A and B are shown apart, each in its own frame.
Chain A
Amino acid sequence: MHTGTVLLLQFEAGGQLGSSLRQILESCPDPEFTVAYYTCQSIDVVDNELSKLIVSTKPLLILLVLPRGHLRSLDTLFRTLEPAAARIVLVVEPDQDNLIELVKPNIDDFIIAPLRDSEVLLRVRRLLNQSCHEQNMRDSLKEKLGLQQLIGHNPLFISEISKIPLVAKSDAAVMISGETGTGKEMVARAIHYLSPRAGKPFIPINCGAIPVELIENELFGHDRGAFTGAAVARDGLIHEAEEGTLFLDEVNCTPLSAQVKLLRFLQSKEYRRLGSTKSLNGDVRIIAASNANLEAELAAGTLRRDLYYRLNVVPLVLPPLRARGNDVILLARHFLAQYAVKLNRPAVDFSPEAERKLLLYGWPGNVRELEHVIERVLILCTEKIIREHHIVLSSETSSTPLSFQEAKANVISQFETTYIQSLLTVYKGNITQAAQAAQKERRTFWELVRKHNIDVQKFKTANVGE
């Protein structure tokens, strides 16, 4: 089992102690570690090459073979080693000037020559285990605290969020669907930062915000002379996201020509810049998202079915805020605390009437709308308790026209809900029969039922009552 990298760091090429140590590490019959070697030019100068090596190999353990008489000159070196957060073992000759200096807090262990195979390997393994344990602890803390940023207790929401750590471990394409403001980008970012790609770029792009004719150029880049004005070659976002994650929001807004290229990239990891005949390889994880009804987009032919299936390997459906019950209050309190500090306001809580008002509202703009409502409340209210009349909701203000996307999403959402409910009424809550009537796969139909939080049991119960 591979547990990490051990970096052997010495200061004199071909030094006897370094060579012996190298031999011992290489002789390990069943190595649970890989070994990297480096010879420093000087102990007093910060070595850029060493810094780069530490960043690239991320060693869990550094074996520092120290020349005679240099115990007191380690401080500069420790500053170079500090970002590695690795455990450090000092390996020294027995006649060092002052062995008491070995007891340094920066040093986790020390080995005095002559070196014995069993002793060295035992210590290396023990310290590697400790380092791995610390690494695991850091990772689990990151997962726990990172996911706490996605606030909510609603079972529908939790069931989707709990998939994130598992999804993050794989490299599969993910399709996140949910209404505008439900936190699709936050979920995509959580997947990225809990994945092995965490230290690499996360590039979010809203496909709906880029002019249709420019989207291919944005994604794939272009060669010099590819079109009028292309004076120099330019890399696309796929190149920028190399080894990381590309988040395609509103993927349904991608024009069909770009969809074909995107599909090719997803299948073969190859793409071409505009105007180029040369294929390039890209190692990028794609996470797509949409607030539209993708089934309708498929039916209308604006989204390629093959691309949809390729992107929809792992579907995550984020429920709208109105379907998350008490999460509205939980989130409102979170934003209240956040903006009270930011705006230096004394507000501490909501009155019961204010809470009721928040719960009864439909939140078409979901969490984003809630955040803005709370911010507005805190800007205008100087009291400690937020009351009903402090909360001004969109339906009460002069009606602000919705964007085309929002208006379309609302209409589609209403249509889907009514349509599904009518079928469930006819087929008395039988999902299979309703799906057949709708000429949809049972799974897809069931996803729609979940998306709109329709209680199937109610239709069955109604039938029993009759």
Chain B
Amino acid sequence: MCRSSRQLTLVSRGFDVLKAGQNCHSAKFQNVKAVVHEAAGVLGINTSNTATPQANFSTISCCTVDALREGVMKSDPIRVRREASHYILDYLYNNPNAGDTFEGIMEWWLLTQSIKFEMQTVSEAVAGLVAEGLIVEQKGRDSRSIYSIKQTEENRQKISTRLMEIRSSLHD
């Protein structure tokens, strides 16, 4: 999966995170914000006034993320090329002695990079959900974390409301 799809995934959940953390100025939050805005920019959505990002979310939620992704791929080949360049350069930055033919880049470099970025994205998504209080993190004895939801009626209601919000905006 290329970085554009990562950005689009972030768009769908990113506005929620933005909404939850409007007053947060941490580096990672700012990073998420920047990526979401960048992706929204690709989609032609004005996010310059994000005081109420949820309002803007409905603008892009009229189609599925896949459709948006396809739209981006078709509408902005330059951006897609730039993203591929980013993957390749990042790979070479981390493996300065690497070298291979085009097939190798297609089959293995991009795969390695997409795993790296996907893991990063999921990790950010989980961190965002924990920060919002929608899921809880429990440290296990082996230092690994277990993620789950709080089994309270209030929390279930909160998640249900949020899911409804997202679903309805996706079908608007």
Contact = CB atoms under 8 A, between A and B. Distances in A.
Contacts of A189: 100, 103-104, 107-108
A61 to B, nearest CB: 12
A244 interface: yes
Contacts of B142: 129
Interface string A181-207: 000011001000100001111111000
Given A138-B119, A146-B108, A133 B144 contact: yes
A186 B27 contact: no
A105 B128 CA distance: 10
Given A141-B115, A145-B115, A200 B108 contact: no
A93 B111 CA distance: 42
Given A130-B144, A133-B144, A106 B28 contact: yes
Interface centre among A104, A130, A149, A193 (most CB of B within 10 A): A193
B115 A138 contact: yes
B77 interface: no
Interface majority SS (helix, strand, loop, mixed), chain A: helix
B28 A104 contact: yes
Contacts of B107: 146, 149, 186, 189
B111 A202 contact: no
A251 to B, nearest CB: 18
Contacts of B120: 85
Interface string A285-318: 0000000000000000000000000000000000
Interface residues of A, number: 38
Interface in A358-387: none
A285 to B, nearest CB: 14
A349 interface: no
Interface majority SS (helix, strand, loop, mixed), chain B: helix
Contacts of B104: 189, 193, 202
Contact of B99 (A137, A149, A202): A202
Nearest to A146: B111
Given A104-B26, A137-B119, A202-B99, A145 B93 contact: no
Given A129-B143, A134-B119, A138-B115, A240 B28 contact: no
A185 B103 contact: yes
Nearest to B107: A149
A240 B98 CA distance: 10
Contacts of B93: 55, 83
A186 B99 CA distance: 15
A108 to B, nearest CB: 11
A110 interface: no
A352 B112 CA distance: 38
Given A74-B27, A130-B144, A189-B108, A105 B95 contact: no
A317 B100 CA distance: 24
B26 A199 contact: no
A142 interface: yes
B23 interface: no
B97 A243 contact: yes
A68 interface: no
B100 A202 contact: yes
B99 A104 contact: no
A203 B27 contact: no
A333 B142 CA distance: 44
A137 B99 CA distance: 24
Interface string B20-36: 00000011110000000
A405 to B, nearest CB: 21
B142 to A, nearest CB: 7
A458 interface: no
B96 interface: yes
Contacts of B116: 85, 138
B94 interface: yes
A55 B94 contact: yes
Nearest to A77: B27
A103 B95 CA distance: 31
B108 A201 contact: no
Given A83-B90, A138-B119, A78 B27 contact: yes
B127 interface: yes
A201 B143 contact: no
A201 B28 contact: no
Q: What 10 A-B pairs come out closest when comparing CB atoms? A: A105-B28, A199-B95, A201-B99, A126-B143, A193-B108, A202-B100, A129-B143, A104-B26, A141-B115, A200-B97
25 contacts: A55-B96, A74-B27, A78-B27, A83-B90, A103-B26, A104-B26, A105-B26, A106-B26, A133-B144, A141-B115, A142-B115, A145-B111, A146-B108, A185-B103, A186-B103, A186-B107, A189-B104, A189-B107, A193-B112, A198-B112, A201-B97, A202-B99, A202-B101, A203-B99, A244-B99
Given A83-B94, A104-B27, A106-B26, 17 more contacts: A85-B120, A104-B28, A105-B26, A105-B124, A130-B144, A146-B107, A146-B108, A185-B103, A193-B104, A199-B94, A200-B98, A201-B99, A201-B100, A202-B99, A240-B99, A242-B97, A244-B97
